[in-house]
């Protein structure tokens, strides 16, 4: 088995992650604008991308294992990096290196974008919580004055029971 199958799966992962990065950037804009309906649609789209990435990643793992078995190597010890460093040369080595580096760069950019989205989401939630607190104050805030004074005063009934 050649490394072409692994290269093919890496190329598909790169394409899927580019598409996922575009969705993530759209999500950032939607979060800034506060469009909840659009956000829901993007989250559904993002979920489909993640499922596709998981499927291709599983196929890539299987391809690496198949390559290791075909070359009579222990699949547990073989990674794409090991294949690049020790078992390929020429065009296959260059293509594997290029795809691996490109995938790593996309993953780093995607992580930064998702961190930004996380911060925007947290800020939105803080704003919503603040707005709710302003609209609906807590019960303790209804009474003004010294709380200790009110609790030590003798409680009097509306009706005088001795009369």
- The highest-level CATH class for domain 4-138 is mainly alpha
Written as one string, the DSSP assignment of the chain is --THHHHHHHHHHHHHHHHHHHHHHHHHHHHHHT-HHHHHHHHHHHHHHHHHHHHHHHHHHHHHHHHHHHTT--GGG--HHHIIIII--THHHHHHHHHHHHHHHHHHHHHHHHHHHHHHHHHHHHHHHHHHHHHS--GGGTS-S-HHHHHHSPP--SS-TT-
For residue range 79-107, list pLDDT tens digits in order: 888 888 888 888 999 999 999 999 999 99
Residue with tokens 């010890």, as numbered in its chain: 77
Q: Please state the domain extents for the chain.
A: 4-138
Q: How confident is the model at residue 78 (pLDDT cuts 50, 70, 90)?
A: confident
Tell whether the model's pLDDT for residue 141 goes beyond 90.
Answer: no
The set of residues, in sequence order, having a beta carbon less than 8 Å from that of 141 and lying 6+ positions away, is: none
Q: Is the pTM here over 0.85, yes or no?
A: no
* pLDDT for the residue 128: 81
Average pLDDT (23-43) is 91
* pLDDT for the residue 49: 95
Task: Report which of 12, 27, 4, 24 is spatially closest to residue 102, judged by C-alpha positions.
Answer: 12
Q: How far is Cα 26 from Cα 35, in angstroms, rounded to an integer?
A: 11
Provide, rounded to the nearest whole percent, the portion of the chain with pLDDT above 70: 83
Q: How far is Cα 136 from Cα 153, in angstroms, rounded to an integer?
A: 29
* pLDDT for the residue 75: 87
Provide, rounded to the nearest whole percent, the portion of the chain with pLDDT above 90: 52
Query: Both tokens of residue 39?
Result: 């956000």
For residue range 126-140, list pLDDT tens digits in order: 888 888 878 876 665
């Amino acid at each position: 088995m050649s490394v072409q199958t692994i290269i093919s799966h890496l190329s598909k992962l790169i394409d899927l992650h580019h598409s996922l990065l575009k969705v993530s950037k759209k999500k950032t804009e939607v979060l800034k604008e506060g469009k909840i309906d659009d956000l829901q649609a993007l989250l559904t789209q993002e979920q489909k991308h993640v499922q596709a990435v998981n499927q291709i990643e599983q196929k890539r793992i299987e391809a690496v294992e198949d390559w290791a078995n075909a070359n009579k190597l222990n699949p547990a010890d073989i990674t794409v990096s090991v294949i690049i460093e020790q078992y390929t040369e020429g065009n296959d080595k260059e293509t594997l290196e290029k795809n691996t580096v490109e995938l790593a760069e996309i993953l780093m950019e995607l992580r930064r974008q998702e961190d930004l989205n996380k911060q925007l989401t947290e800020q939105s939630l803080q704003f919503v919580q603040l707005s709710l607190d302003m609209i609906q104050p807590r019960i303790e805030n209804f009474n003004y004055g010294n709380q200790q004074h009110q609790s030590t005063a003798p409680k009097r009934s509306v009706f005088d029971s001795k009369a």
